[in-house]
Copies of this chain bind each other. A is one copy, B any other.
Amino acid sequence: MADSEETKVAANAPETTSEVPAEGSEKGPSKNELKKRAKEAEKAKKAAEKAAKQKELEAQKAAADEDYAAANYGKEPLNQSQSRPRRERVQIKSLNPNLDGQTVLLRARVQTSRAQGNKMVFLNLRQRTDSVQALLIVTPEKVSKQMVKWTAGIQDESIVLVEGIVKKSPEIIKSATVGDVELLISKIYLVSGLDGRLPFSVEDANRPETEISSNEEVQYKRVLLDTRLDNRIIDLRTQTNQAVFTLQHAIGHLFRSFLDSKGFIEIHSPKLQGAATESGASVFKVNYFKGNAFLAQSPQLAKQMAIAADFERVYEIGPVFRAENSNTHRHMTEFIGLDLEMAIEEHYHEVMELLDDLFKHMFRGLREQYKNEIDVVGKAFPAEEFKWRDGPEGTLRLTFREAVDILVEDGVPREALEDIDTENEKRLGRLVKAKYDTDYFIIDKFPMGLRPFYTMPDPEDPTLSNSYDFFMRGEEILSGAQRIHDPALLVEKMKEKGIDPASMDSYVNAFRMGCPPHGGGGIGLERVLMLFLKLNNIRRASLFPRDPKRLEP
């Protein structure tokens, strides 16, 4: 390698390339500045003496060991941006047999290492969802025994900078995602090591449950959810989680790209509210200077107010807060709402159908553009592929009454079905799947009594409402409706639900100044992610989940 010496200098001896920046000013430094400088000079002197001593010792040791590879490995000094050699670094996923024989440079985690005698080490190097096998073999003048020993001692999960030659593998290496090549290491430096023991290995955390239970010869460690969440930084490094959060990103991206194409604009509404709104019970109180504020339970009120302010079509992606002491697989105290609201021209099915098109756009986008990530997650969380009706027959739509009838026909007493609880929702999901072969459907026309005060009643049957829920794998993922845009009717419905209209003045006033008919819906981002991938617990779909018992990390 022509530039090996340069790299070495850049990596290990930054001081030699440094220059004291020229004083740009004509005036002298201040007294304080002079004092500071004297102190620093003293410090620097001591440090230099120490470094010199250290160097001498190292030199003596090196001479004794005759380590001809000393420049090819070792701990890098802390990167403080000492230099910028601008050497290209590659991604593991770009490696392939066509690069056979080429020298590449890359930064990666050491997922595992295994020494074979004192002349060879195998490393599994990882970047996000990709891994490759690397090999270090004692070679005269290039790789010394000391270098192999040092490399074998690198702790798992350390970050290394590796220079190596790409070699076509004689056979596919199953333990790596890029299995048709391996890397013959020529240089290896430690960029960031560990300070302490790993709570669990990323390999253990990434192992599918099926592999743990099916293999009787080896007893694998099982990493429980709470342990994972307590050590979320390590847990997030698994290939599974790297894929999960790429898919979370994808859902947000698909949500926005669809709505942008339909003339929506993104808004940002305040999370700090002057009054406890919607349903006072489940709202967090904030100390706000000498008074109080409350955290928004949803952007519901704000997005409706944006419609009254002529925004026509709006969406918001942001945190929503629920002070519910629910410790279930599907509740969190903070989650991301994908919300939208739009003026309607004639009928609320305009919104419902747009939402349906939005979901199909998201499902299609995930399947077509993120197949690799879905497959990676599928290894850890095996699930039947998510199914929806994408043909001309359209998405299955049931009225609430029809949904109840399906359950009654299956043996659920009608009396138990004034509302459909979580258990019956799941049961309905199974019945629908069996009958219609779809994991995705809509229930329309919910009873007015089950919906919030701002829901528009049905024009013919005032016990029903112009509202709908969307379901994935038998769980609700969207709730929406036409809203009441008439202030008199709104005030009437607030009173019916025991809400004092005066307590929500700015909201009600928005409709007093004229507001178009409108409707919308709110989607739980983590729920869509959990149900699409069948992760079984919403916490797995949140970067740093929050529930009544968890505020860390």
Determine whether the beta carbon of B552 is less than 8 Å from that of A274: yes
Q: Which residues of chain B have C-beta atoms less than 8 A from A268's C-beta?
A: 248, 319, 336, 525, 542-543
Known: A245-B265, A317-B317, A401-B21. A232 touches B309 (CB 8 A): yes
Q: Let me know if A361 is at the binding interface, CB within 8 A.
A: no
Q: Which residues of chain B have C-beta atoms less than 8 A from A159's C-beta?
A: 514-516
Q: Per-position contact with B for A396-414: 1 when CB-CB < 8 Å, else 0?
A: 0001011011001000001
Question: What CA separation (Å) do A309 and B245 show in the bound complex?
Answer: 11
Known: A78-B486, A488-B195. A551 touches B288 (CB 8 A): yes
Determine whether the beta carbon of B14 is less than 8 Å from that of A459: yes
Q: Which residues of chain B have C-beta atoms less than 8 A from A478's C-beta?
A: none
Determine whether the beta carbon of A21 is less than 8 Å from that of B461: yes
- How many subunits of this chain does the assembly comprise? 2
Looking at the assembled complex, report how far the CB atom of A228 sits from the nearest CB atom of chain B, in whole angstroms: 12
Q: Let me know if A101 is at the binding interface, CB within 8 A.
A: no
Closest to A106 in B: B345
Name which of A246, A401, A489, A543 has the most chain B CB atoms within 10 A of its CB.
Answer: A543
Q: Let me know if A422 is at the binding interface, CB within 8 A.
A: no
Q: Which residues of chain B have C-beta atoms less than 8 A from A456's C-beta?
A: 80-81
Interface of chain A residues 81 through 101 with chain B (CB within 8 A): 81-87, 89
26 residue pairs from A and B, CB less than 8 Å apart: A14-B459, A25-B401, A25-B414, A27-B408, A30-B415, A79-B344, A80-B457, A81-B347, A83-B346, A107-B345, A109-B514, A127-B310, A157-B513, A159-B515, A195-B511, A196-B512, A198-B513, A234-B513, A242-B311, A268-B525, A268-B542, A270-B334, A270-B544, A271-B319, A288-B333, A506-B552
Determine whether the beta carbon of B245 is less than 8 Å from that of A311: yes
Name which of A40, A109, A159 has the most chain B CB atoms within 10 A of its CB.
Answer: A159
Q: Per-position contact with B for A229-247: 1 when CB-CB < 8 Å, else 0?
A: 0001110110001100110
Q: Let me know if A213 is at the binding interface, CB within 8 A.
A: no
Q: Let me know if A295 is at the binding interface, CB within 8 A.
A: yes
Question: What CA separation (Å) do A460 and B40 show in the bound complex?
Answer: 11
Q: Let me know if A260 is at the binding interface, CB within 8 A.
A: yes
Determine whether the beta carbon of A319 is less than 8 Å from that of B321: no
Q: Which residues of chain B have C-beta atoms less than 8 A from A284's C-beta?
A: 272, 286-288, 293
Q: Let me know if A364 is at the binding interface, CB within 8 A.
A: no
Interface of chain A residues 289 through 343 with chain B (CB within 8 A): 289, 293, 295, 302, 305-306, 308-312, 317-319, 321, 323, 325, 333-334, 336, 343
Q: Let me know if A55 is at the binding interface, CB within 8 A.
A: no
Interface of chain A residues 216 through 270 with chain B (CB within 8 A): 232-234, 236-237, 241-242, 245-246, 248-249, 252-253, 256, 260, 265-270
Question: What CA separation (Å) do A458 and B82 show in the bound complex?
Answer: 8
- Pick the contact of A192: B14, B252, B514 (CB < 8 A): B514
